[in-house]
């Protein structure tokens, strides 16, 4: 029993958290960006740091 707790629970927890991240990422990507915010997103889109205030856009 101790062996299972020591080795199985941490692996399962990390797998669950990774799956949770993948799920939230997919759901976030599927959620449409509001029309009035699209311009801001385009402004922030950049090849480097994606920093809105950055003046070194690539």
List interacting residues with other proteins (CB under 8 A).
Answer: 5-6, 9-10, 13-14, 17-18, 20-21, 24-25, 27-28, 31-34, 36-37, 40-41, 43-44, 49-55
Give, for 1, the enclosing helix (H) or strand (E): none
Tokens of 41: 């997103």
Rounded Cα distance between 34 and 7, Å, is 44
Rounded Cα distance between 38 and 27, Å, is 18
In the bound state with other proteins, the residue whose beta carbon lies nearer, of 37 and 47, is 37
Closest approach, Cβ 29 to other proteins, in A, equals 9
Closest approach, Cβ 8 to other proteins, in A, equals 10
């Amino acid at each position: 029993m101790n062996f299972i707790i020591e080795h199985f629970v941490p692996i399962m927890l990390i797998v669950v958290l990774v799956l949770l991240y993948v799920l939230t990422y997919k759901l976030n990507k599927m959620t449409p960006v509001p029309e009035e915010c699209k311009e801001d997103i385009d402004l922030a889109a950049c090849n480097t740091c994606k920093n809105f205030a950055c003046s070194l856009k690539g």
